[in-house]
Amino acid sequence: MGFAAMLAACGSGDDGPVVVSGPPQPGGTLRVGALGRPGAISRDPHGTQANESDYLILSLRYDTLTVPGGQVLTKARLATAWQSSADLRTWRFTIAPGAKFHDGKPVTAEDVVFSLRRLRDMPAGPSRLPGVRSQSITADGPGTVVLVSDYPNAELPLSTRLATFVVPAGTTDIENAPGTGPFALEWFRGGNARLVRNREWYGGETYLDAVEVSVFESPQAMATALLAGQIDLASNAGAVAARTAQGRKDIQTLRRTDDMAMPIVMRAAPGSPYADARVREALRLAVDRPAMVAQALSGYGVVGNDVLGTGDPGFARGLPQRVRDLDRAKKLLAEAGFDTGKTYRLSTTEDIAGLAESATLFATQVREAGVRIEVVKQESGSFWEDTWLKGDLYTTYWGTNDSVLFLAGRIMLTDSSRNEAAWHDPEFDAAYQRAVGAPDPAARATALTDLQRLQYDRSGYIVWGVADGIDLAHRRVQALPTLPGFGRVQLERTWLAR
């Protein structure tokens, strides 16, 4: 009854963005709360950002070549246009005319080449720009950048979203490099920052005078600060915080579907307890997905089906929905010779709302199939340093869940530097190559379906559900981004009603 009442409240008149009539009103400072932990702070635009607060600051300060677009998966940003060769290997990106760094220097193709090469040479570079080597990124004149792929890739512009932040060529002091984004950094202190409007931003008018970002270690603390009037926006606050704010007429709730996948990763490499595909299938069958969504996400989400990219228009909705089958799970474990006398470790963090809760609930559920799991909560810095990409069983999370190929190319290909499950499947790799290399949309759609079937059947992921993104904001905050995942950091059109 309490859960039903909560869902009813989510559909009440208090839910959803509050729209104020009239044109946008320029001016004012938007105070944003974002999740992060002191031990995981990163100011390198080409490094790994475990903190959402860091990614938000970087996204306000620097521009990527492209951004998520909603109706179209890839929308122009610092690159205003792109075109491929007939063989889909050579791509030419046109830099926005009039784009300048915050110090007034014009942006050139050499700046973009320097930035993309630096990104590609980072440890995670091969997965961020799949198939593009550092030496294959060149300038053609002052306003055109050329990327040559090792293989035909119709979706290469998709790879230039999210991480291709541009800094001046030759930058050595990376933390203080001027950006090209809608806001310029005024100060940074211990993860908190103030950014001021870039009045010469090439992308059009920005309404806010400034954005102040405050870092919070928990969604609950962030929601408390919002209710106390200390911040105006609680970014990605989660279901528990949303319930806390219910009934407050001065607070609006914005829900973004297909926002955050929180899969459980099973290491598929030899020597792992989960190397046998039958064990991985058994654990997928041991999960009660509706219960996970109802309890770990408080109903703010949908049941998953072990494929990442649920917001993709080409998502394979024809795959049979996997449901709980304890008898089948037990049979598969016995066939694989899985040792049910041992206790296995599941590592997690509290980086985002519901993540640690999902781990605890998973451990309870699989116990009914005879698998004993000990949940170990790690501090964020330790988790990303010691467990991610190394552990046998751990939770992870991915936003911008709008493209099957975007995620497959980053975390599932054999040669990906971020292959989270150490899953090496030549058939999957070949299906990916067919999907990105097919000039014909019908052939590409067929390959994309094949790719998802293989992920569904064999991968190292249990995608039990996909969480709604939940932002909480004061009623005066207008025109908040509605895109899922990291689309929520695009605050250049947001404004404050007086």
In the prediction, which pLDDT does 34 show?
95
Could you tell me if 291 and 394 lie in one domain? yes
Could you tell me if 166 and 279 lie in one domain? no
Give the residue carrying structure tokens 């150490």: 422
Range from 10-19, 144-153, 292-301, 375-384 carrying the lowest mean pLDDT: 10-19
Closest CA to 149 of 78, 71, 77, 90: 90
Closest CA to 259 of 454, 397, 113: 397
Could you tell me if 284 and 317 lie in one domain? yes
Task: Look up the CATH number of the domain holding residue 458.
Answer: 3.10.105.10
Could you tell me if 292 and 310 lie in one domain? yes
Could you tell me if 111 and 224 lie in one domain? no
Could you tell me if 191 and 118 lie in one domain? no
Domain that holds residue 476: 25-61+176-257+469-496
Q: Is the pLDDT of residue 224 over 70?
A: yes
d(Cα 165, Cα 172) in Å, to the nearest integer? Answer: 15
Q: Is the pLDDT of residue 7 over 60?
A: no
Give the mean pLDDT of the chain: 92
Closest CA to 426 of 438, 414, 442: 414
Closest CA to 36 of 25, 49, 27: 49
d(Cα 148, Cα 108) in Å, to the nearest integer? Answer: 19
Closest CA to 299 of 346, 343, 341, 354: 354
Task: Look up the CATH number of the domain holding residue 148.
Answer: 3.90.76.10
d(Cα 328, Cα 284) in Å, to the nearest integer? Answer: 11
Beta-strand pair 372-377/343-348: parallel
Q: Is the pLDDT of residue 8 over 70?
A: no
Could you tell me if 381 and 271 lie in one domain? yes
pLDDT band at 399 (very low <50, low <70, confident <90, very high): confident
| Residue at 13 is within a domain | no
Closest CA to 202 of 106, 129, 276, 126: 106
Could you tell me if 272 and 247 lie in one domain? no
Q: Is the pLDDT of residue 3 over 80?
A: no
pLDDT band at 445 (very low <50, low <70, confident <90, very high): very high
299: region left, alpha or beta (phi > 0 left; psi from -120 to 50 alpha)? left
Domain stop point among 150, 172, 194: 172
Could you tell me if 43 and 77 lie in one domain? no
What's the Cα-to-Cα distance from 338 to each of 208, 259, 334, 344, 461, rounded to whole Å? 58, 35, 6, 11, 18
Q: Domain tally for the chain?
A: 3
| Residue at 19 is within a domain | no
pLDDT in tens, 166-208: 999 999 999 999 999 999 999 999 999 999 999 999 999 999 9
Could you tell me if 453 and 475 lie in one domain? no
pLDDT in tens, 313-341: 899 999 999 999 999 999 999 999 999 99
3-state secondary structure of 408: helix
| Residue at 461 is within a domain | yes
CA angle 475, 57, 183 (to 5 degrees): 80
Could you tell me if 351 and 338 lie in one domain? yes
In the prediction, which pLDDT does 231 show?
98
| Residue at 3 is within a domain | no
Average pLDDT over residues 263-278: 98
pLDDT band at 454 (very low <50, low <70, confident <90, very high): very high
| Residue at 15 is within a domain | no
In the prediction, which pLDDT does 15 show?
59
CA angle 355, 218, 222 (to 5 degrees): 130
382 token code pair? 């330790």
Closest CA to 403 of 220, 258, 251, 269: 258
Strands (E), 129-245: 132-139, 144-149, 183-189, 192-197, 210-216, 233-234
Q: Is the pLDDT of residue 246 over 50?
A: yes
Task: Look up the CATH number of the domain holding residue 48.
Answer: 3.40.190.10
| CA 443 from centroid of its chain's CA atoms | 28
| Residue at 1 is within a domain | no
Could you tell me if 438 and 307 lie in one domain? yes
| Residue at 17 is within a domain | no
pLDDT in tens, 15-74: 577 788 789 999 999 999 999 988 889 999 999 888 999 999 999 999 999 998 877 889
Domain stop point among 120, 144, 172: 172
Q: Is the pLDDT of residue 254 over 70?
A: yes
| Residue at 217 is within a domain | yes
Residue 125 and residue 112 in contact, taking contact as beta carbons nearer than 8 Å: no
